[in-house]
Amino acid sequence: MSTNYETGHAKNLAHFQTLITFCEGYGAAYNPVKDTLSIAAMQAMLTEATDRFNEVKNKKTAFDNATNARRTVFADLRPLATRVVNAFAVSGADPLAVEDARGINRKLQGSSLKKETPETPETTNPISTSQQSYDKQIDHFLNLIEVLEQAPAYKPNEVELQPKNLRTLLQSLNDANTAHIQAYTPYSNALIARDKVLYEDADNICSVVKESKAYIKSVFGATSPQYKQVSGLEFTKPR
C-alpha cells in the first residue's frame, strides 16, 4: 500500500475525530434529529473505523512479510538453474537432453518477474501479474529437475546441484509461494471491511461528515465561526 494512499485514510479518521470534538464543544446546541449524526453514533463509527484501519495495517505487515520471504527464496533460483545446466552439459548426458535443459533454462530466465508492490491490492489483485511469473518459474524448475533425474550421467559432486537437493529447494519455492497467496486473502478482506465503514456503507463516515457539516451550517449559519471550524475539514476517498 502506498504511503500517500494510507495517509489519506488516516487523515480522514483524524479529521472525523476533530469534527466530533467540535460537535462536543457545541454542547446542547448540537442536537440533530438523525441518529447517525449524534455524537454517540459518530464516536462508535470512529471506533469501528479505527479498528478496521489498524486491522489493514496488521494484515499488510503479514502480507509484506510473505512477499519478502518469497522474494528471498526465489532470489538465487535463476543463477542456480544456469549452474545446473552448465554442470549437466559437461556430465556426459545425452546432447538432446542437454538441449532440452538449456531450453527450459531459457524459459526460466525469461519469466517476467516485476518488482512486487504490496500497495497494489488497494485497487487490483497484487498477485495477478507477478504471481504468473512465480508460478512459471516453479513449473520450469520442476521440468528441469525431471530432465536431470532421467539422465543417469548427471551425478554432480556439488551438493546444491544434486537433484535431491533441488527437489528440496523446489518444495521451499512452493511453500513460500503458497504462503504469499494465503497472506493476500485476509489483507484483501481487511481492505474491504475498512472501505465499507469509511466510504461504502449506507451511513459511511464520509456521508455522515457531509451531513453533520450541513447540520452545523443550518444551526449556526454559513458565516458562523462554528461552521468555519468544520468546513475546512476535508474528507475524500483516496484513489
Q: How far apart are CA 53 and CA 144, in angstroms?
A: 45
pLDDT band at 117, cuts 50/70/90?
very low
Q: What is the pLDDT of residue 112?
A: 55
**pLDDT tens digits, residue range 17-30?**
999 999 999 999 99
Q: What is the pLDDT of residue 3?
A: 46
Looking at residues 194-211, what average pLDDT do you find?
Answer: 94
* 163 pLDDT higher than 90: yes
Closest to 228 (Cα-Cα) out of 8, 60, 22, 16:
22
What dihedral do alpha carbons 107, 102, 146, 143 form, nearest 10°?
A: 10
Minimum mean pLDDT range among 95-109, 128-142, 150-164: 128-142
Q: What is the pLDDT of residue 16?
A: 97
What dihedral do alpha carbons 120, 234, 32, 49 form, nearest 10°?
A: 30
What dihedral do alpha carbons 97, 100, 105, 107 form, nearest 10°?
A: -170
- Give the residue carrying C-alpha cell 440533530: 32
In the chain, the N- to C-terminal Cα span, in Å, equals 12
Q: What percent of the chain has pLDDT over 70?
A: 88
Q: How far apart are CA 67 and CA 53, in angstroms?
A: 21
pLDDT band at 114, cuts 50/70/90?
low
- Written as nine digits, the cell of 83 is 549452474
Minimum mean pLDDT range among 114-123, 131-140, 229-238: 114-123
pLDDT band at 6, cuts 50/70/90?
low
- Written as nine digits, the cell of 62 is 503479514
Q: How far apart are CA 15 and CA 238, in angstroms?
A: 14
* 111 pLDDT higher than 80: no
Closest to 137 (Cα-Cα) out of 180, 181, 94, 105:
105
Question: What is the overall mean pLDDT for the chain?
Answer: 91
